[in-house]
C-alpha cells in the first residue's frame, strides 16, 4: 500500500510510521519535517501536498493543534487555532484527499479523550475533538468510491506520560502497542464512520 502519514515523525506518528514502514510505501508529511512539508491549517498547502504525492491508498493524520488555557483566558482568536488546524485541517484532508485516494482507500483522523472526558484548560481542544467525531460519523454516510473514514481517539499515551501527567491526574497511560493497533484497525479493517476509542 502507498500510505501518506501526516505527522509521521511525532510522538505517536513515529511509532505508527515504524509499523507501516515494514510492508508499505510511506510518504511522511509534516509542518517541520518529513518528505513533504504541509501546514494543515492552510487548504492550499494541503492541495499542494496531494499534488506531490499523487494517488495513495491510505491517508493517516496524526497532526493538528489547539490552544490549552483557562476558559477565562481564551480569546476568540485562541479558539480559531484549533478550529483552523485540528478541526478544519482534518476536514480539509478528507474534503481534498478523497480525490487522491484509490478505490476503497481509507482516511484515518486523530483526536483524543478530551472529547468525552475533558480536563481543565481544554475547553477549546475538547470542542474541536468532539466536532471531528461528529464529522466522521456524518461524512461516512456520503463519501463515495468505497472510501472509509475513521478517527482514532486516544487517552494519554505512554510516550507522552511525563509531559502531560499533571493535566491527567489518575489517568492510566495507554501502551504504544494499543495506540499502533488502533491505526492498524482503521487502515486494515472494515470500519467506516467509527470513533475508535482507546482510553485504557
- What is the tens place of the pLDDT at every residue in 27-66? 999 999 999 999 999 999 999 999 999 999 999 999 999 9
Which pLDDT score, from 0 to 100, does residue 43 have? 97
Which pLDDT score, from 0 to 100, does residue 165 have? 85
In the predicted structure, residue 145 carries a pLDDT above the cut 90: yes
Burial of 74 (0-12, 13-18, 19+ CB in 10 A): middle
| Beta-carbon count within 10 A of 72 CB | 6
- Statement: the pTM of the whole predicted model exceeds 0.85: yes
- Asked if 70 and 63 touch (Cβ cutoff 8 Å), the reply is no
Burial of 23 (0-12, 13-18, 19+ CB in 10 A): exposed
List, in sequence order, every residue forming a beta bridge with 109; answer none if it has no partner: 151
In the predicted structure, residue 95 carries a pLDDT above the cut 90: yes
CA max distance for the chain = 48
Which class is 2-198 in CATH? alpha beta
Which pLDDT score, from 0 to 100, does residue 108 have? 98
- Mean pLDDT along residues 152-174: 91
Residues 6+ positions from 50 with CB-CB distance below 8 Å: 96, 97, 99, 100
Which pLDDT score, from 0 to 100, does residue 167 have? 86
Which pLDDT score, from 0 to 100, does residue 34 have? 95
Nearest to residue 182, comparing CAs of 56, 51, 60?
60
- Mean pLDDT along residues 107-121: 96
Which pLDDT score, from 0 to 100, does residue 51 have? 98
CA gap 94, 198 in Å, rounded: 22
CA gap 9, 17 in Å, rounded: 8
Which pLDDT score, from 0 to 100, does residue 4 have? 98
Nearest to residue 102, comparing CAs of 165, 147, 51?
147
CA gap 5, 99 in Å, rounded: 16
Mean pLDDT for the chain?
97
Domain boundaries along the sequence of the chain: 2-198
Residues 6+ positions from 108 with CB-CB distance below 8 Å: 58, 59, 60, 61, 149, 150, 151, 152, 183, 186, 187
Amino acid at each position: 500500500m502507498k500510505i501518506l502519514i501526516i505527522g509521521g515523525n511525532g510522538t505517536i506518528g513515529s511509532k505508527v510510521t515504524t509499523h507501516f514502514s515494514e510492508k508499505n510505501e510511506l510518504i511522511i508529511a509534516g509542518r517541520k519535517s518529513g518528505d513533504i512539508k504541509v501546514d494543515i491549517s492552510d487548504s492550499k498547502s494541503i492541495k499542494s501536498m496531494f499534488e506531490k504525492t499523487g494517488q495513495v491508498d491510505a491517508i493517516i493524520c496524526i497532526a493538528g493543534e489547539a490552544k490549552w488555557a483557562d476558559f477565562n483566558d481564551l480569546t476568540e482568536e485562541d479558539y480559531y487555532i484549533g478550529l483552523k488546524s485540528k478541526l478544519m485541517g482534518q476536514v480539509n484532508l478528507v474534503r481534498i484527499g478523497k480525490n487522491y485516494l484509490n478505490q476503497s482507500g481509507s482516511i484515518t483522523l486523530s483526536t483524543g479523550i478530551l472529547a468525552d472526558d475533558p480536563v481543565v484548560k481544554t475547553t477549546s481542544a475538547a470542542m474541536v475533538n468532539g466536532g471531528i467525531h461528529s464529522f466522521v460519523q456524518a461524512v461516512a454516510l456520503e463519501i463515495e468510491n468505497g472510501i472509509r473514514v475513521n478517527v482514532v481517539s486516544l487517552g494519554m499515551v505512554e510516550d507522552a506520560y511525563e509531559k502531560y501527567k499533571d493535566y491527567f491526574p489518575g489517568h492510566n497511560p495507554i501502551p504504544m502497542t494499543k495506540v499502533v493497533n488502533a491505526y492498524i484497525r482503521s487502515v486494515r479493517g472494515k470500519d467506516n464512520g467509527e470513533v475508535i476509542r482507546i482510553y485504557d
